[in-house]
Every structure is written in C-alpha cells, then in structure tokens.
Structure 1
C-alpha cells in the first residue's frame, strides 16, 4: 500500500535535512561550482517531490537523491562540453568522472577518493571559508550549504537581520564562481588562514542541532553527529592546533548530555534537572582528553574561546550532582572568555553563572543592562534568564511576563511550551 502524500512529503523533508549537505558536496566535487551544485541538488529534491508520491519511497532515499543530482551534474557538464566544442578533451574527463560516479549509484554511497582525507563535506567547509569571501559571508554560506539552515535560522544564529543574510549568501556564491575557487582541501600552509571560519561553522552547525532555533523538535541529532564527526576529522588533520582540540572537546562534552536533555515525551530537560546517570561517559572522557590536548598544544598558555568553553563544560561534566558544580570556577573561566571574545551572549551566560555562584540579585544587575543591546533584541534567552532570576527573587508577576516574552520570541515549539509552562506555574 502506497503511503499518503503528506507522509511522503514528511519523509522527503526529513531525508533532505539529513542528506542535503552531502549531496551538495558530492555534486560540487563534479561541477567545481558550489552555487551550481546547490541548484542541481535542489533539482533532485524537486524530482523526488514529483516521483516519490507516485512511485513510492525508494529503498535508499539518500542514495536516490545523490544519484539523481549527480546525473543532473553530468548532463550539465556534457552541455558545457558541447557548448565549448571541446568534445574530445572534456569527453575523456566526463568518462573518467562517470566511471567514478557509477559505483556510487550501485552501492548507494558517496565514493571517497584517496587524496588527502577524501571527505567532500570537509572540502565544502574549507571552500566556503575561502579568504576571497568576507568572514561573515563565509559563515552564512557554510551554514546554508552544510547546516541546511534557512536564512531566518542563520540570521538568528548570527544575530543579524534576515535580508542581510540573504544578500551575503547570494554575493558569496557569485564571488566564489567569479574567482573560480577550486573545490579542494587546501594545502597545510593555507589551512590556518581559514581555520577560524571553519571552526565557527562546525560550532554553529552543532549548536543548531543541540538547540534548534525553529521547528517542533528541541534537538536535531543528525546535525550534532555531523558536526562532531567533522571536528574529529579536523583534529586529526591539524593535531597541533589548540583550538581545534578545544572545539572537539566542547562538542564531545556537550554531546555527552544529549540523551538526558529530553524526557520521554520529547520535552526539554534543563541542565540542573538532568539525570546525570544518563550522560554518556565515553563521550565525556573523549571530551576531557581533547581538552587536555588543547591545553598541551596551547603555545602561549592562554586558551582560545572554544577551549575556554570546553573548560566550562568540563566543570559540569566533573560534577556528580548539580549541587557539586564549581560555579566560582565557571565565573572565573567566563571572565577569561569575555576578555578573549567579548559579546553580549557571553556576558549573558556569565551572568547566569554569577547567579548560581553569588545569587540572583547580583546576576540581575548584570542582565538588566543587556536589554539595551541591539544584538539581543530578539534573543529569547535574554528574557528567559531574566524570568528565572526574577522567579528566584520572588517577583513572580514580572517573571511570568518575562517568560511570556521569551515564548513570543522563540520559533522552537518545545522552547515555547517550556516558557509558557513556567509562566503559568508562576501565575498559579
């Protein structure tokens, strides 16, 4: 019996979210044009929307999309070859590429070449983080292609208006195409200049998976897993870079809590309320070991922002119970982080730690001035933190209003339910 059209569309959406980045990366390896690769991948998605409701879901939907997109890519390359009247020269190249691609269709997997790491997704990150692009454009484009995020989600992650993000993405694609930037993993000497953007992209992809900005699910585990895998590969690629290990440590430790972050109904469970016996001890040990490597490879003894965030996460990981958490130590690390990476979000997170170490009154004095920060104007966690502090001070009516404000700002259904439930509890 064929599934209902609505069910098929939900399946297509789910497969696309998981496979889009791999498909774009696989096609970009053929076309050497990221903008064109995204268009061809979208063509494959349209084909799925046309065929799957009629023919039914294929056994390997991801492989079907990859095969369709690569077929489109080969058609595109043939058209270019014909147009350029270089049949013999490009025909041989096409035959070689087809010989490389056909096994993918049979096995349903994206073949990996033997050069360097052989990871198309990592190549895609380094390509989108090419220095020909401005730093903010690199991040926006990479989140679009690798994280599968919409412009609204990227805008929220970067705390800038949505039209600005849309313009950055369009211009970035044009710039890469005009500069004919090769789709490749750069030589070791060239990796360092792109490393900051690459780390930021992996970090933001993980964050979107760890706490989704929109939708009905609080987490998107596939994004967390992909970011974690890329961080591990990057750590093997650049073992002397302290911040690479710092990022890997941060993601490993954060990922160790994943199973405890939601209850049986999929509702959020906040950090201090989590059942710590459900934390993944293997991931935690991996994270603490990566933090040790970050400290050992730190040239000047001053840890970078990712390693400092990992040190904060490690304080939670080492506490057997929530009440055992070393909050003064966390405040101290936040002080260092605020010096290395001053931002209103870091200041807000530091205020939360101050609230736990010194009390809600001291924290509220730090949080209230942040309400004038333009970057936090639509950041739902600012009123959520205020609501928590006000509730702890017994100012229930103000706290309930703050939680309602947070609920109105968030686009994640689970977050909205949580904020409204806290507001209702305070009113009761």
Structure 2
C-alpha cells in the first residue's frame, strides 16, 4: 500500500464516524470495497479522496447551517425521490447525506434542504388558493421580479430567491435583509494579526442581517396548495409583492383559506354537540370519537408498505393519544380571554371537586364553537385542535414521529 499523508483536519472530521459509515463513504468515493482497520481507513479517505471528502463536508455544513431535521429529510427522500424507507433508517445528518450520495442524488441537496422545511410544517402552515398558479418558466419570472425589486426599484430590503421547481410543484426559498444593525467591537479585530494591545480602542461595524422563509406551491385538482415554513405576519408585504409580479395574484392573504383536517372538524363538532345535549358527557363523547379514529388510523398504517419497525412505532404513538384537556380563547359569549384545563385523567379531576363537571359542561355549551380547543396528548407532547387544524400547545413544533402520527389520526380515513 502506498504511503499516505492526510490533512489532520480532515482526519479529525472523520474520527467520530463509525467504521461502517467510513466503509460506505469509501465505496461512494472509490466504487470499491475495502477491509482495513478504522484508523487506516480514515487516513486513506482523507488522503486519496481529499477533494471528494471536502465537497462532502461542505454539503454537510449546508445541512447543519439550515438545521435540517433528519426525519423530515427522510420524508422528502422517500416521498419525492422514491428512496426506499429501509435505506432511510438514519441516525444523524451525516448518514442522511450519505444516503443521498449513495443514491447518486447529491444534485438534490438544495431541494432536500428547502423541501424538508416544508415537510416540517405540512398541515400546520398550509393554505388553499382557489386558482391554479402557472409554474411554467417560474425561474425566469422570479428573476424578472428580483431585477424589478432589487435594481429597478432599489428597495431598502433586497432579497435573494432560490427556486426549486419540479413539474406541478415549486418551492421558493427567500432570504431578505431586514434593516441595518450596528455592533461595537475592538479595533484590533480588524487588523490582520488581531494582536490585542494593552488598552484596545473601541470601534464599530454595521451589518445587514438576513431573515428567511420558504414557500411551497403545489398544483391540485381544484386550485393550489400554498405552504409557508413559518408564520407570515412579518412577511405579508414581501410575499404579496412577489405573488403579484410572478403569478399576477393580488391580495393573496385575503384569498387564502387554511387547510382543514377532517378529523379536527369531526372531533370539534362532536364535542360541541355533546355539550349541548343534556344526557351526553362531553369528555366521554370526545374520547369515543378519538378512539374510533385511532382504530381506523392504525388499520390504515398496517395497510401501508412500510418496514415493520416504522409501522410498530407509528402504531404505538397512535395508541398513546388521549384527551387531556380543553382551552377556550377570546370568547365573548363567556367573557373569556383564555382558559385552559389539562389533566392526565379528566374524570378523576371532575370527581375531585363537587359540581365542577356540570359547571364545565355549562361553560362549554355557552362558548362559541370556533373558540373551543381540545387538547390531546401524544406520548409526552401536547397538541391542541384548532378551528381547522392542530398545533403544538407549547412551542413551535413537536417530534417528527409524533407529527406523522397526529397527521394520520386527523387526516382522511376510510371509516
């Protein structure tokens, strides 16, 4: 074997990786297999495949910088690129990227980054537009918009847009400046040596930070589904300007309708109906609806062509779903700004205080249907059923595996 002289930094980058991972990486780079000790394999990869390794590590930094969730990355690779789920049982972003290389789809890295963010908010920030948007030549149309806003109008907050288009689907990844910031710093930091003097001078620098949002656009039989990677309350002017120029759609947000989850509507209506019926117990009625949907969801999971471990995991998560509370917000009928009640066992709570259940039933009966939110627990996380969909009760997101289970439970089921 020829002597090797690897870059120590590259060796250090590979040192945490398992031997199996390194063997797979070597095969990707060389097209061959190899049987050597782990330390020797690190040296060989870092020396003989230096350029390939640097490119791989650069790609990993892209995944890391955007904080790509590996589970949503898996969803993209499976649903959009058709990669078998058995190949996607990955433990971290390194393995996710390795699968992309093994499948010879490294050219889809940017798509993976952009689309995985949309998978993360699917059914949470998803809306319907009653018009089919034309996606033909969308890259050129976006370029014309950028020329208009960045150069012709010279707006104060310039932007860059990456377009990922594929037939009847497109994603727009937008970066835009938001204002100017000023930071104090020591003057010696601007010198080549950065040697600190005894008493350094204070200076400053200005910079222009960037914000980011991704927009998914998918043509449907009766219009267009539009998904936003985050809340749009600070983006509306930019997005409406974009859609007006690129798609000739004015007043976008006035025309959007939030996507409704069938299960949410069914359960919310059941809760309201039970509260209005003197003989019905609201909590029992909701539990019965949830249990019925759980049974149907589990049957649907077993009908899918997924590996056994994925099916079993999804079934366990569905089995864990239970009603644990209610929240009522901004309800004029009851004079409520916000009221929340959560307990692992609502029946025990109602039995603890005499009359609380009857009073609560009367309270729900008076409240407006659209202001009542049911709270479900899935494993150790809480979600509330909104007027049209569901959202995490606390924070912005729940675990990807729990999200998959909730979407199955509250989606279209053949009951």
TM-score (normalised: structure 2)? 0.30
Larger radius of gyration: 2
Between Structure 1 and Structure 2, which shows a larger proportion of helix residues?
1
Between Structure 1 and Structure 2, which shows a larger proportion of strand residues?
2
TM-score (normalised: structure 1)? 0.29
